[in-house]
Amino acid sequence: MTGFLTLLRKELLRFWKVAVQTVAAPVLTAVLYLLVFSQALSNQVQVFPGVSYSAFLIPGLVMMSVLQNAFANASSSLVQSKITGNLVFVLLPPLSSLELYGAYVLASVLRGLLVGLGVFAVTAWLYPPSFAAPVWILVFAILGSAILGTMGLIGGIWAEKFDQVALFQNFLIMPATFLAGVFYSVHSLPPFWQKVSHLNPFFYMVDGFRYGFFGQSDVPPLTSLVIVLLTLAVVSGIALRMLQTGWRIRH
């Protein structure tokens, strides 16, 4: 476990040493979203009975921050290592594919949770939250950040420069996150777009996470959990296969 723990420590220190950029900045962005949307729509929109729009918005913003930062951690680390040429020092030690996967994804999960906790701490001071099912909150936060950390690993392996990571993030991660019901309930959409939303695995991460706060959701939480677990299994299988073959990292 020495190699795994060393790589994990390296990944944690990598983002913690620039915490203003990797932790504080995303927290500020989420808070600005909350202030703008809550002030503009708080008196016009009510999604769940007895739940204000501002309260509804907070879990979505927390989860959005968790997902985006988990992806950014693994993807930026790998691409930075490729560009600077120090990836070879990660590949030389006898680390298995599972150890590499575990270190990168676990660091991404911890960064995502740390940012999410920061967003929650600030927004909870503005709008005190409720907790209907706290276990669901933790489960979906961990699984969601693990999925995006794994997708970040895949994106980092595929990309050879930062432009390609930005392409991956701006045209896949960002749209999927924004269309996952962060700012609205899918029940407010026309029937066609409701069906489209149900094809987005990010929707189930956000919806299941929000259920933990209000005990209300657009789909049953067990359905969301099954789909999220299946998504994690698929992306993990892809990432492990890429690490085993060494595609774009060993050749």
Contacts 24+ apart (CB under 8 A), 233-237: 235/147, 235/150, 235/151, 235/154, 236/101, 236/150
Per-residue pLDDT of the chain (251 residues; tens, 9 = 90+): 899 999 999 999 999 999 999 999 999 999 898 888 877 666 656 677 777 888 888 999 999 999 999 999 999 999 999 999 889 999 999 999 999 999 999 999 999 999 999 999 998 887 787 899 999 999 999 999 999 999 999 999 999 999 999 998 999 999 999 889 888 888 878 888 888 889 999 999 999 999 999 999 889 999 999 999 999 999 999 999 999 999 988 86
pTM of the model as a whole: 0.93
- DSSP class per residue in the chain: -HHHHHHHHHHHHHHHTTHIIIIIHHHHHHHHHHHHHHHHHTTT---STT--HHHHHHHHHHHHHHHHHHHHHHHHHHHHHHHHTTHHHHHSS---HHHHHHHHHHHHHHHHHHHHHHHHHHHHHHS----S-HHHHHHHHHHHHHHHHHHHHHHHHH-SSHHHHHHHIIIIIHHHHHTSSSSS-GGGS-HHHHHHHTT-HHHHHHHHHHHHHHS--SS-HHHHHHHHHHHHHHHHHHHHHHHHHTTTTT-
**What pLDDT is stored for residue 184 in this prediction?**
84
**What pLDDT is stored for residue 66 in this prediction?**
97
User: Quick check: 90 and 81 in contact, CB under 8 A?
Assistant: yes
- The first and second tokens of residue 98, run together, are 């599972």
User: Quick check: 74 and 152 in contact, CB under 8 A?
Assistant: yes
**What pLDDT is stored for residue 42 in this prediction?**
61
**What pLDDT is stored for residue 46 in this prediction?**
62
User: Quick check: 200 and 180 in contact, CB under 8 A?
Assistant: yes
**What pLDDT is stored for residue 123 in this prediction?**
87
User: Quick check: 215 and 134 in contact, CB under 8 A?
Assistant: no
Spatial distance between the Cα atoms of 13 and 17, rounded to a whole number of angstroms? 6
**Shortest CA distance to 50 belongs to which of 138, 132, 117?**
132
**What pLDDT is stored for residue 45 in this prediction?**
60
